Amino acid sequence: MLCAMEGEELIKPITVLFLILVLSFLLFFFRPRRRLRLPPSPIGLPVIGHLHLLAPIPHQALHKLSARYGPLIHLRLGSVCCVVASSAATAKELLRTHDLSFSDRPSSKAVSYLTYGLADFSFAPYGAYWRFMKKLCVSELLGGRTLDQLLPIRREEIVALLQTLHDKSQERQAIDMGGELIRFTNNVISRMTMSRRCSGSEGESEEVRRLVEEISELTGKFNLADYVGLCKNLDLQGFDRRLEDVRRRFDGMMEKILKDKEAGRAKRREMGGGGKDLLDMLIDISEDASAEARLTRDNIKAFVMDIFVAGTDTSAITMEWALAELINHPEILRKAREELDAVVGKNRLVEESDIPNLPYLRSIVKETLRLHPTGPLILRRSNNDSKIDGYDVPANTTVFVNVWAIGRDPEHWSDPLEFYPERFMEKKGEEAMDVRGQHFELIPFGSGRRGCPGASLALQLVQSTVGAMIQCFEWKVGDGGTVVDMAEGPGLTLPRAKPLRCTPLSRLNPLPLPSIPAGAIIRQLCVFDASILVSSPCCCHEMMTMRGSVVCCCCRGGGGGGGSGIGTALPTPSLFVPSASPKSPSLRRSQSISVSTADPEVRDEASAAPLTRRRRLILLRHADSRIGDRFTKDHDRPISKVGRKDAISISSKLQQLGWIPELVLSSDATRTKETLQIMQEHAQRFSEAEVYFVPSFYSIAAMDGQTAEHLQKAICEYSRDEILTVMCMGHNRGWEEAASMLSGATVELKTCNAALLEATGNSWDEAFTLAGLGGWKLHGVVKP
């Protein structure tokens, strides 16, 4: 009886609980929901959704799905909602029109753990820290001024690569070019970052190379825990153990490198000088109490990881694909070599400064990036609900932009599967097609806020290295083959399915030593090296005024500049080796530098290359304006008395300097219109310029990170090739930010200040393409 009563008492609460659960279930599944118009989608499976459709190579599988379901499709990868864009139009809508809505990147378990909880730059959430790091990358770490200072490192490593290939060519055996190029890019990135190579006797640097390979593999590998919630805490694939091992090794290595670097910095301070690498710059910022954002030790480690992973594989793989295509297309290889012989000749090595005069070489690199983009999929995450092409994209949706598919879209590219560099030279406008995110038919470096800040470095390195390999060697398929297998392998960076094995045959023997323009590069070398041997008498006077010992072979026989001939350069391909921690200012070793005394923009009469035209850009902020009352909109505020005086002064100064615009593009705000009117009244030549008022200049200046791109688009739209000087008038913070991003320097523009920028190109499109972000020369800021 007692048991029966206890049973009855238990039945009642269980029944109530059951009814509550049933009611909750009914309410959950039958509650009114907002009907979403999602993009088309194939039929999925329970639990895994569409994961099974991505094998074996995701970007190829997504391309096939888009060909069937359209340029914008919806997928469910396990429990993750995804949208895939496979056309230039949808990519533009996602990455430009709705850039801010898709300014975050999805994070995987591997990425979050390896980057110290997203303390890096590449995967950090969009916010104040990310904006600070983006500005820092564009203006300082990867800006034009820094890249110029580190040019000798890139040049020396190219020479070292060529010497290695030359030595191996004597054996007439096939070599693994992928391995050689990985070592080369590792050396470049390692020396630029921390002044040490990634091969040779330095065990730490060799460990960097191994870690980069493992990190690339782990971050690019499919992890079930990222997509299926039931597996989130289960290490079914053994990822956790590998992640812990890699981060432990990376952290230990970075701690030692940082301690060595700090000790070396202390010694350099005692000695009074020395060159700085990227790690020095990061440490400087971390120690700067007035910095906009304080970098922690984890931030520095994670950022270094970003640079190595992004800078090593991508450039090496692009060069590997380019070389494979050239071997399979000997006629294209022959044309490229003829262009190099005509422009550069056979007595010196192709330089980065030659690239503007090598359109066919640039077209080969563009065509390689079109067919073989190093990042075939751009990943973004929506941070709010959006409408794309008429479809709903909910917040927290992972977005894939299929760059690989866009580069093969027959709607834009004729014969899209053919390797045909001439396509960038035959149609008007395509020669100047930018690969940095302005033309959405070709976006290998992404676009918008999250576009790759290292694009300029990658292009400089790839173009000059591919040019040098074409110039110095004949190339044959290795191991008795006739054609190179062009099959792709799986991964985030589009690796080849099979290593590129080929045989280099030296075409120029001995290899031509590189030449260095006099002036700025020589001064930069002197920062790193205490002793430099110069083989040109015209540089003696300048070199003798610099720090350290200078041995000049035209003067060392005695008597200053009395030497009558240029001394013979020592037979060493090495230009300079920066010391991580110089021990003393005394002579380490003499080094030979072949110095070119010509202006880098002036070519000798034997050169068949056309001269590129200098293009000037004036970024002028409006004059001081009166603070409006509550009835006056900000857009309609007039300039003040001080502003009128400043406008007169700035027009006079610009006219004296010879910076007279032929085209003026101005915001339509009252204060910019009045500034321009006063300038035209007091400087006659300003009134002769064409003037267009661009309403978007007013609003774009308030949008973070978009002004430089917007100005480029407007200038290319309104200008003509014969117009050489353009003035853009607008507002802060956009104008200040654009000047900093274009020049690679930190520019401050107060009211009525004008930043004077210059680049070269036969058109404005070409000037923006060649200079990129950080590549414009800043002549200065003119103030009233």
* Contact (CB, 8 A) for 75 and 50: yes
Predicted TM-score (pTM) of the model is 0.72
What is the predicted pLDDT for the residue at 699? 82
- Is residue 69 over pLDDT 50? yes
- Is residue 451 over pLDDT 50? yes
What is the predicted pLDDT for the residue at 25? 65
Supply the DSSP string of 112-173, one letter for each residue: HHHTTTT-SSSSSPSSHHHHHHHHHIIIIITSHHHHHHTHHHHHHHHHHHHHHHHHHHTTT-
Angle at 265 between CA 202 and CA 276, to 5 degrees: 80
- Is residue 231 over pLDDT 90? no
Higher pLDDT, 463 or 550: 463
What is the predicted pLDDT for the residue at 9? 52
Supply the DSSP string of 196-256, one letter for each residue: --SSSS-HHHHHHHHHHHHHHHHHHS--GGGT-GGGTT--TTSHHHHHHHHHHHHHHHHHH
Mean pLDDT (the chain, rounded): 81
Q: How confident is the model at residue 204 (pLDDT cuts 50, 70, 90)?
A: low
Cα separations in angstroms, 191 against 188, 196, 428 = 5, 5, 40
Cβ contacts of 783 within 8 Å, gap of 6 or more: 650, 750, 752, 753
Query: For a pLDDT cut of 90, what percent of the chain falls above it?
Result: 49
Higher pLDDT, 608 or 345: 345
- Is residue 599 over pLDDT 50? no
When pLDDT is averaged across residues 40-69 and rounded to a whole number, the result is 94
- Is residue 567 over pLDDT 80? no
Q: How confident is the model at residue 427 (pLDDT cuts 50, 70, 90)?
A: low
When pLDDT is averaged across residues 584-609 and rounded to a whole number, the result is 35
- Is residue 518 over pLDDT 50? no
Q: How confident is the model at residue 14 (pLDDT cuts 50, 70, 90)?
A: low
Q: Which residues are annotated as a binding site for heme?
A: 452
Segment 73-131, tens digit of pLDDT: 999 999 999 999 999 999 999 998 999 999 999 989 999 999 999 999 999 999 989 98
CA distance 763 to 232: 53
Beta strands in 647-753 (DSSP E): 663-666, 690-693, 725-730
| Residue (of 319, 298, 308) closest to 190 by Cα position | 308
- Is residue 208 over pLDDT 80? no
Q: Which residues are annotated as a binding site?
A: 452
**All structural domains of the chain:** 128-494 (1.10.630.10), 515-596 (no CATH), 614-782 (3.40.50.1240)
Least-confidence region, from 3-7, 417-421, 423-427 = 3-7
